[in-house]
């Protein structure tokens, strides 16, 4: 099997000559083939062509990776927190040094426009590792004021081996969201990137080696969910699974994890309500609403996929919003002028397109898009035009996660109805409000059923701010101190420093 992509020869990437990346599994600090020799084709979503083949991990490979992690754990537990932090900071520096290569790989593999990969995905990945590098030696326990004579202190200890399952929509960034807190807290990791988009994560594996992490602390096993992913979920020696993906697979993972009662953190789907009130700054809201749904072709769990408009400004808003949607430049993700690339896989593109039909079947209106672009240069890629439909709050397009450049418009007449529409969902991840009324903003932020709420903005993330949802959007949090808590076990230690304890079982002769 070809273990390297040579970009110079194969991809004519004039600005990135001679870039190499390993395509094998990364286990115990080495790149190795899959035991059964299986491979998976990795496709370029902009033209459907094969970029390369990667080794396909199966259950046996996961078992080997778990053993490598297990062997690495004792020494990693003895590594000082400051040293763990130093390694993470070094990794952040290496990511910045390799910005162009990582951005290129991410765009090639996922279809993210390179302008976003360069200014968002790669810098955010470095920032996330840096944040958790800084936190590593600040993970403190506490002392509890218990009764006289006793000292009670609480330790936060690593869980041990954690399994991390990464989806295909933001593979690079999610790698840092998961590895950063796990490693800072002293865990060892087996990670499965999506087999659709493994390349940037495999590059991170190389940088992990270069940064000097001990062998076996991080193991990367790209492979299919039903084999490698399933084995991680039911593996008896993995203490926690962190999963990002669909609600149904999240449910399967919870079931599979019950054997050893492993901890599970789930970051699942969303149907974000983005509410525009009549007093909003319309220009800002139009722009923010477009970013909320069209960034990364709408393939984001926090996407503002329900646009909830006050009836008095809806027509005026939609005129501008539709014009903006129609003006978005679709194109080759590697072209710096491209604002929207293809969806990441053909199957997913077809699913997104099917929702335009579903909207019509239930009496909705397609205001723009709902089809592939009529452009010969894009015909082999998985493109969908920015799509805006209008529907009712109970319709499928207002209830189900489409996960594409597809937004459903709903109108409301007063605040009560806006809140009722916003909370008419089984999900609860991202949400947004556009208003200049301070009281209303805070009141909605409190009442809205969501893990995150943006006021007069949408889709802000920071490594310090907890990310996650409620309801069918999952549980547990990524990023911030919340993530550190999620990657540690709590131990309560009691010390008798001065207590005179009467005997519990008094005998006459004692």
Q: Which residues are catalytic?
A: 267, 301
Using CB under 6 A, pick the residue from 38, 158, 269, 364 that binds ligand NDP. Answer: 269
Shortest reach from residue 222's CB to ligand NDP, in Å? 9
- Pair of tokens at residue 263: 């901890």
Spatial contact of 339 and 330, defined as CB atoms under 8 Å apart: yes
Considering only 96-104, 133-141, 246-254, 313-321, which stretch makes contact with ligand NDP by CB under 6 A? 246-254
Could you tell me the CA-to-CA distances from 477 to 13, 192, 473, 482 in Å, in that order?
38, 19, 11, 6
Instruction: Find tokens 């399994």 and name the residue.
Output: 163
195 binds ligand NDP (CB under 6 A): yes
CA–CA separation, 61 and 32 (whole Å) = 10
Q: Is residue 268 a contact point for ligand NDP (CB under 6 A)?
A: yes
Please tell me whether residue 224 binds ligand NDP under the rule CB under 6 A.
yes
Q: Is residue 116 a contact point for ligand NDP (CB under 6 A)?
A: no
Quote the CA–CA distance of 363 and 339 in Å, as a whole number.
31
171-184 and 122-135 helices, crossing angle to 10°: 10
135, 253, 286, 313: residue in contact with ligand NDP (rule CB under 6 A): 253
The stretch among 44-52, 96-104, 163-171, 449-457 that binds ligand NDP (CB under 6 A) is 163-171
Q: Applying CB under 6 A, which part among 3-11, 80-88, 188-196, 481-489 lies near ligand NDP?
A: 188-196
Q: How far apart are CA 176 and CA 173, in angstroms?
A: 5
Q: In the numeric block, which tokens belong to residue 453?
A: 């709420």
Q: What is the largest CA-CA distance in the chain?
A: 98
Per the CB < 8 A criterion, the answer to whether 459 and 292 are in contact is yes
403 near ligand NDP (CB under 6 A): yes
Helix (H, G, I), strand (E, B) or coil at 333: coil
d(CA 278, CA 357): 31
Under the criterion CB under 6 A, does residue 478 sit at the interface with ligand NDP?
Answer: no
Asked if 157 and 208 count as a contact pair (C-beta separation under 8 A), the reply is no
Does 244 engage in binding with ligand NDP (CB under 6 A)?
yes
For ligand NDP, the binding residue among 110, 200, 249, 257 (CB under 6 A) is 249
Minimum Å gap between C-beta 417 and ligand NDP is: 27
Count Cα atoms within 13 angstroms, Cβ side, for 199: 28
Residue with tokens 């998985």: 382
CB burial of 139-166 (b: ≥16 within 10 Å; e: otherwise) equals beeeeeeeeeeeeeeeebebbbbbbbbb
Give whichever of 263 and 320 is closer to ligand NDP, judged by the CB atom: 263
With binding defined as CB under 6 A, does residue 468 bind ligand NDP?
Answer: no
Among 180, 245, 304, 369, binds ligand NDP (CB under 6 A): 245
Decide whether 73 or 233 has the Cβ nearer to ligand NDP.
Answer: 233
Q: Report the nearest approach of ligand NDP to the CB of residue 351 (Å).
A: 6
316, 315, 291, 317: which is closest to 305 by C-alpha?
Answer: 291
Q: Which is nearer to ligand NDP, 68 or 264 (CB)?
A: 264
Should residue 242 be labelled a site residue for ligand NDP when binding is judged by CB under 6 A?
Answer: no
Q: Which of 245/471 has CB closer to ligand NDP? A: 245
Work out which of 401, 458, 483, 484 binds ligand NDP, going by CB under 6 A.
401
Instruction: State in angstroms the smallest separation of the CB of 256 from ligand NDP.
Output: 7
Cβ count near 235 (within 10 Å): 23
Kindly state the helix (H) or strand (E) to which residue 85 belongs, with its residue range. Answer: helix 81-97
- As a dihedral over the C-alpha atoms of residue 322, residue 326, residue 327, residue 330, rounded to 10 degrees, the angle is 140
Q: Does 167 bind ligand NDP (CB under 6 A)?
A: yes
Q: Find, among 415, 396, 454, 439, the residue nearest to 273 by Cα.
A: 454
Interacting residue with ligand NDP among 22, 24, 52, 194 (CB under 6 A): 194
- Per CB under 6 A, does 62 bind ligand NDP? no
Of 232 and 313, the one with the shorter C-beta distance to ligand NDP is 232
Q: Is 487 in the site for ligand NDP (CB under 6 A)?
A: no
CB of 463 to ligand NDP, least distance (A): 17
Q: Are 219 and 231 in contact (CB under 8 A)?
A: no
The least CB distance from residue 2 to ligand NDP, in Å, is 22
Q: Minimum CB separation from ligand NDP for residue 285, in Å?
A: 24
Instruction: Tell me if 164 sits within 8 A of 192, measured CB to CB.
Output: yes
Side-by-side strand order, sheet with 365-368: 365-368, 387-390, 406-412, 306-310, 273-276, 431-434, 454-455
Binding ligand NDP (rule: CB under 6 A), the pick from 23, 187, 200, 230 is: 230
Q: How far is the CB of 292 from ligand NDP (least distance, A)?
A: 15
Dihedral angle, C-alpha 341, 344, 350, 354, nearest 10 °: -70
How far apart are alpha carbons 428 and 401 in whole angstroms?
A: 12
Residue 124 CB, shortest distance to ligand NDP, in Å, is 15
Region of 144-152, 203-211, 225-233, 320-328 interacting with ligand NDP (CB under 6 A): 225-233
Using the rule CB under 6 A, give the single segment among 42-50, 244-252, 335-343, 420-428 that binds ligand NDP: 244-252
Q: How many residues line the site for ligand NDP (CB under 6 A)?
A: 24
Closer residue to ligand NDP (CB): 268 or 453: 268
**Reduced 3-state DSSP string for 158-173:** ECCEEEEECCCCCHHH
| Closest residue to ligand NDP: CB criterion | 225
Regarding 65 and contact with ligand NDP (CB under 6 A), the answer is no
Q: Which residues bind ligand NDP (CB under 6 A)?
A: 165, 167, 169, 194-196, 224-226, 229-230, 233, 244-246, 249, 252-253, 267-269, 301, 401, 403
């Amino acid at each position: 099997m070809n273990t390297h992509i040579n970009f110079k020869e194969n991809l004519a990437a004039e600005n990135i000559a001679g870039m190499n990346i390993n395509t094998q599994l990364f286990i115990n600090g080495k790149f190795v083939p899959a035991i059964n020799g299986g491979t998976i084709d990795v496709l370029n979503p902009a033209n459907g062509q094969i970029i390369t083949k990667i080794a396909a991990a199966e259950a046996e490979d996961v078992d080997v990776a778990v053993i490598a992690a297990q062997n690495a754990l004792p020494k990693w537990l003895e590594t000082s927190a400051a040293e763990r932090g130093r390694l993470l900071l070094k990794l952040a520096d290496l990511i910045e040094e390799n910005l162009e290569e990582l951005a290129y790989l991410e765009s090639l593999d996922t279809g993210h426009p390179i302008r976003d990969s360069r200014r968002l995905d790669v810098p955010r990945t470095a920032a996330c590792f840096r944040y958790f590098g800084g936190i590593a030696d600040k993970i403190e326990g506490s002392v509890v004021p218990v009764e006289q004579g006793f000292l009670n202190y609480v330790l936060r200890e690593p869980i041990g081996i954690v399994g991390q399952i990464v989806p295909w929509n933001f593979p690079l960034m999610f790698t840092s969201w998961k590895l950063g807190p796990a490693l800072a807290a002293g865990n060892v990791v087996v990670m499965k990137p999506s087999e659709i988009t493994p390349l940037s994560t495999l590059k991170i594996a190389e940088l992990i080696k270069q940064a000097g992490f001990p062998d076996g602390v991080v193991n990367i096993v790209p492979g299919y969910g039903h084999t490698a992913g399933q084995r991680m979920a039911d593996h008896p020696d993995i203490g926690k699974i962190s999963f990002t993906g669909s609600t149904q697979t999240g449910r399967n993972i919870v079931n599979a994890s019950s054997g050893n009662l492993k901890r599970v953190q789930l970051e699942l789907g969303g149907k974000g309500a983005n509410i525009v009130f009549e007093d909003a700054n319309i220009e800002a809201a139009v722009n923010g609403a477009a970013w909320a749904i069209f960034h990364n072709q709408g393939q984001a769990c926090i996407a503002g996929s329900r646009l909830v408009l006050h009836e008095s400004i809806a027509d005026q808003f939609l005129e501008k919003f539709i014009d903006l949607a129609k003006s978005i430049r679709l194109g080759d993700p590697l072209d710096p002028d491209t604002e929207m690339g293809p969806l990441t896989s053909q199957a997913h593109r077809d699913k997104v397109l099917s929702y335009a039909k579903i909207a019509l079947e239930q009496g909705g209106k397609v205001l723009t898009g709902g089809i592939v672009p009529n452009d010969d240069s894009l015909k082999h890629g998985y493109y969908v035009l920015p799509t805006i439909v209008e529907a009712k709050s109970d319709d499928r397009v207002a209830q189900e996660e489409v996960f594409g450049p597809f937004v459903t418009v709903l109108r409301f007449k007063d605040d009560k109805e806006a809140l009722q529409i916003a909370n008419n969902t089984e999900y609860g991840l991202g949400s947004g409000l556009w208003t200049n009324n301070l009281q209303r903003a805070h009141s909605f932020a409190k009442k809205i059923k969501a893990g995150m709420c943006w006021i007069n903005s949408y889709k802000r993330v920071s490594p310090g701010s907890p990310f996650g949802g409620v309801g069918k959007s999952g549980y547990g949090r990524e990023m911030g101190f919340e993530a550190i808590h999620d990657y540690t076990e709590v131990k309560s230690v009691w010390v008798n420093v001065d207590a005179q304890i009467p005997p519990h079982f008094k005998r006459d002769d004692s």
